[in-house]
A and B are shown apart, each in its own frame.
Chain A
Amino acid sequence: MRRILKVDGVSKRFGGIKALDNVSVELEKDTIVGLMGPNGSGKMTLFNIISGILKPDKGTIVFNNTKIDGLAPNKIATLGISRTFQEIRLINDLTVLENTMISALQHFKMDYNKAAEHSLKALETVGLEKKSEWFVRDLNLYEKKLIEMARAIAAMPKLILVDEIMAGLTEEEQSRVARIMNELREYGITIFWIEHVIRAMFKLLKVDKIIVLNWGKKLAEGSPEEILHNKEVIEAYLGKSSMRGG
């Protein structure tokens, strides 16, 4: 079976607000799947539930034939799910290499030197090996985003949840990040990708499928071409008046 992740009927409430309402998603191996939706549509909640930061109120999540809903985040990470964050989360007092090593040390029980060697390869993948001894606080936004990618790669995951990695980057930087994501897919890593930079989602990468959420519900699912012409999606993003105005 090619399916790697199955989110089935997941719901999550925060007080009176339904952040996710009976959402089901399936991801196949070695694919890049986009996750779109206006602000507050539930994208980040879904990522937080998959990675174990939040527990779903209802529904199940199966990753690689293992039920993961309710597991602690570190257990889910060990099973092969890595993630990056919309607001960059790195350990400022650690070097670039140390930030990348954290996951390698946890997942493979390597000794310090082997983990360093392994993590250096992950840094090579994103082109940051020359800055491995820098402190992350001294790097720019683009480089910090690459470290998050390298940290995710160093865990040798089967699935990476990528959260708005293109935001704030120049077009050239976005193209470089897109190349890295393509390479990862070629290595056999599935990517589930939240993105607001529409150009990146539709032009820079060959995305296999896009899922659109709105108000906590799944609004649409299909190829980029289908999503681009989906009236409900356009309406959700631009509002009804713009639809009427052509």
Chain B
Amino acid sequence: MEISTFFYIIFSSLQIGLIYALVSIGFNLLYSSTKIINVAYGEFIAIGAYVAYWLFVLYAIPPPVSIFVAVAVLILISLPLYQILLKRLLESKSVEYIEIWGVIITFGLSIMLQGFMAFVWSAQSKGYSYLDQVVEIFSLTFILNKILTIIISAIMVLVLYYLLFRTDLGISMRSVIQDPELAETIGLEMNKIFLLSFLLSSIIAGIAGVLLSMSFEIHPFMGSTYLILAFIVTAVGGIGNPIGSFIGGLLLGALNVLIGYTIGPGLNLFIIYALLVALLIIRPKGLMGGG
């Protein structure tokens, strides 16, 4: 393998892996704190991608700026959704009830959002070119928008790390994830933590969508791929473990690129699933899930 190919693989792995890590942290955070499996999570990613696309195409607003709009849009969608549908579900405090009805509600929402996006913006794939110039660093060539994606994703991961591990909200969330009954007995306002977890998860999805739109084509059904990847990374990294999701995301990103480079991109998901099944047989709680 040439040195330039090696760096290309590292670079692409980092770009995709960091986005996978972001997507998975958001998905994992919501499930582990509320027990809601948000099947519409992928559509939230697609909405973020469409926000970036339309703002760029219509008003030439660069995607890094669109991130703020995507965050606002996702909050506007998530807030009433939580208040009307999910809040009452969570008040039941029954894990089985929340899991089953959470899937049913968000599955319905997923279909509605897909239908809405296909109706309004058509089912055709769309894309735009932003910072697609090539730069040369140490005689290796890189595309600018991919460098930007890595920088923004890395900043986001650091912000999330700070939020989860260095703030009162993070301590509260991690307490709720591990022992909700204890957290409530100590004095935590569960509804507030659930709402903030849902908003944070939606915001992460929106930002990931913006970042994905910079390098990949977007369409109303793109979300399902990322939902599946979020499932896989959560299973690999361990439920309730954001650091596990981060490492799992990077691993999956690298695997994706390596399979694409060595075997070809068509078999990516098949091989990843096979490896996941093998891993879960050996370590049912995932790589970072304590055996």
Whole-angstrom CA separation of A93 from B179 in the bound complex: 11
A4 touches B (CB below 8 Å): no
Whole-angstrom CA separation of A93 from B239 in the bound complex: 13
Q: Kindly list chain A residues whose C-beta atoms are within 8 Å of the C-beta of B186.
A: 74, 77, 82, 102-103, 106, 151, 155
Q: Kindly list chain A residues whose C-beta atoms are within 8 Å of the C-beta of B187.
A: 73-74, 77-78, 102-103, 106-107, 155
Q: Select from chain B the residue with minimum beta-carbon distance to A103.
A: B186
Q: How far is the CB of B33 from the nearest CB of chain A, in Å? A: 13
Determine which of A83, A92, A94, A112 lies in contact with B168 in the assembled complex, contact meaning CB atoms within 8 Å. A112
Q: Select from chain B the residue with minimum beta-carbon distance to A115.
A: B168
Task: Check A83/B185 contact, CB under 8 A, given A93-B174, A98-B171.
Answer: yes
CB distance A77 to B185 under 8 Å?
Answer: yes
Q: Select from chain B the residue with minimum beta-carbon distance to A155.
A: B187
Whole-angstrom CA separation of A237 from B246 in the bound complex: 54
> By DSSP majority rule, is chain B's interface helix, strand, loop, or mixed?
helix
Q: Kindly list chain A residues whose C-beta atoms are within 8 Å of the C-beta of B181.
A: 53, 73
Interface string of B177-194 (1 = CB under 8 A from A): 011011111111110000
Q: Select from chain A the residue with minimum beta-carbon distance to B240.
A: A93
Whole-angstrom CA separation of A31 from B166 in the bound complex: 38
Whole-angstrom CA separation of A77 from B172 in the bound complex: 15
B268 touches A (CB below 8 Å): no
Interface string of A52-92 (1 = CB under 8 A from B): 11000000000000000000111001100011010001011
Whole-angstrom CA separation of A106 from B185 in the bound complex: 11
How many B residues face the partner with a CB closer than 8 A?
A: 19
Whole-angstrom CA separation of A111 from B171 in the bound complex: 12
Task: Check A105/B171 contact, CB under 8 A, given A77-B187, A112-B166.
Answer: yes
Q: How far is the CB of B245 from the nearest CB of chain A, in Å? A: 14
CB distance B184 to A89 under 8 Å?
Answer: no
CB distance A51 to B171 under 8 Å?
Answer: no
Q: Kindly list chain B residues whose C-beta atoms are within 8 Å of the C-beta of A52.
A: 185
Whole-angstrom CA separation of A89 from B179 in the bound complex: 8
A101 touches B (CB below 8 Å): yes
* A interface residue count range (under 10 / 10 to 19 / 20 to 34 / 35 or more): 20 to 34
Interface string of B68-79 (1 = CB under 8 A from A): 000000000000
Whole-angstrom CA separation of A106 from B190 in the bound complex: 11
User: Looking at A73, A83, A103, A155, which has the most chain B CB atoms within 10 Å of its CB?
Assistant: A73
Q: How far is the CB of A154 from the nearest CB of chain B, in Å? A: 10
Whole-angstrom CA separation of A91 from B178 in the bound complex: 6
Q: How far is the CB of B182 from the nearest CB of chain A, in Å? A: 5
Task: Check A102/B188 contact, CB under 8 A, given A112-B168, A115-B168.
Answer: yes
Binding site for A on B (CB under 8 A): 166-168, 171-172, 174-175, 178-179, 181-190
Q: Could you list some 14 contacts between A and B, CB below 8 A?
A: A51-B185, A73-B181, A74-B186, A89-B179, A89-B182, A91-B178, A91-B179, A93-B174, A94-B174, A102-B171, A102-B187, A103-B187, A106-B188, A115-B168
> Top 7 nearest A-B pairs by Cβ distance?
A77-B187, A106-B187, A105-B168, A73-B185, A73-B184, A89-B182, A103-B186
